[in-house]
Amino acid sequence: MVTLVVAEHNNFNLKSSTFSTISAAIKLGNEIHILVIGFNILKIVKQAARIFGISKVFFIDSSHLYHPLSENFSLQIFTIAFSYNHILFPATSFGKNIAPRVAAILDVSQISEVIDIKSDNIFCRFIYTGNVIATVQSHDKIKVITICPASFESIEDYTGSAVIESIKALPNVCMSSLISYQTNINNFNDLNNADIIVAGGKGFKNAKNFKILRILAQRLKAAIGASRAAIESGYAEKSWQIGQSGKIVSPKLYIAIGISGSIQHIVGMKNSKIIVAINNDMKAPILNISDYYIIGDLLEILPKLINALSDD
Ligand SMILES: Cc1cc2nc3c(=O)[nH]c(=O)nc-3n(C[C@H](O)[C@H](O)[C@H](O)COP(=O)(O)OP(=O)(O)OC[C@H]3O[C@@H](n4cnc5c(N)ncnc54)[C@H](O)[C@@H]3O)c2cc1C
């Protein structure tokens, strides 16, 4: 059996979601190949070839593959799909965009947002907003799977040496094009890859107070997250939302400030290694999943915390 991991990258570096997906592939226990599709990607291809556990790196390099448009990517993947038992994507906007089209072309059922692998055909995934874990079995010959990056460790172990092979690019199918693309300059607020996230909620009461979070984030070199209520109240940007309808994150440290801990929020951050809550309500549900908490008014606690942290 052989597993194919479709790499997520930014044409410069592999994203940490790719490493989590590789961890899931390692758990499957079979030979692993990686497919890197993009433009001017030789550096990434060489990086991928050094990853522990990978035996072969396929790459397809062409200018029209710079942006991961699912129409082009899915056809490219289809050309090699029949050599594989499992095709794994990270369950990020990248994988969620491409995997369904690959599954449809192959006429198989996609297995979405897998959080654990029990065997080569039995997988666990959240349903009902993370309240229930479903264990599902697939009898499809090729299993197209998206992997929840937060559920598998993102380990960068460069002790491998895989064979590298180029695949010819298919012509651009021209069914879609990218109108605009906004990147996170200097990786500011890269929530998916941040070691520390400080997240704010409705408890901040207004946008002016929420700005204190920026200072704390600077001091801790952290990314800033927010609850949906904070975003809907205009305190924070939409792209900062953590939770069911936002981003799923698993930083080393997650500090939830003025966030009650609704199930929709918790599903997005509960796999963080250490969770700290700052809340003035001893009964706030967030405290049930926190490793540490401070009870009190965030407007009194945050300035003290910021002062206590060095500025360099
Ligand atoms: C389909 C659906 C999807 C959703 N998706 C998401 C999602 O992705 N992410 C998400 O976050 N939510 C989501 N929600 C919304 C979610 O249900 C909650 O409404 C939201 O998470 C609440 O945000 P909050 O904790 O900031 O606000 P609140 O629930 O109002 O909590 C505010 C907290 O701040 C504390 N507080 C108040 N004042 C202070 C103070 N001075 N000092 C310290 N603490 C204080 C309070 O004790 C309270 O615990 C979704 C809802 C639905 C229906």
Residue 242 has a pLDDT of 96
Residue 261 alpha carbon, nearest atom of ligand 1: 25
Distance 286 CA to ligand 1 centre (A): 10
Residue 262 alpha carbon, nearest atom of ligand 1: 21
Pocket test for ligand 1, best of 239, 265, 286 (most atoms within 8 A of CB): 265
Residue 184 has a pLDDT of 57
CA torsion, ordered 3, 146, 160, 61, to nearest 10 deg: 90
Average pLDDT by consecutive 10-residue portion of the chain (312 residues)?
96 92 96 98 97 97 96 97 97 95 98 95 86 92 94 89 97 91 66 91 97 95 96 95 89 96 93 95 98 98 93 58
Residue 200 alpha carbon, nearest atom of ligand 1: 26
Q: Which domains, and CATH codes, for the chain?
A: 2-166 (3.40.50.620), 185-308 (3.40.50.1220)
Residue 187 has a pLDDT of 56
Ligand 1 pocket (Cβ < 6 Å) reads: 201-203, 227-230, 241-246, 258-260, 262, 264-265, 268, 279-281, 284, 297-299
Distance 124 CA to ligand 1 centre (A): 28
Residue 205 alpha carbon, nearest atom of ligand 1: 38
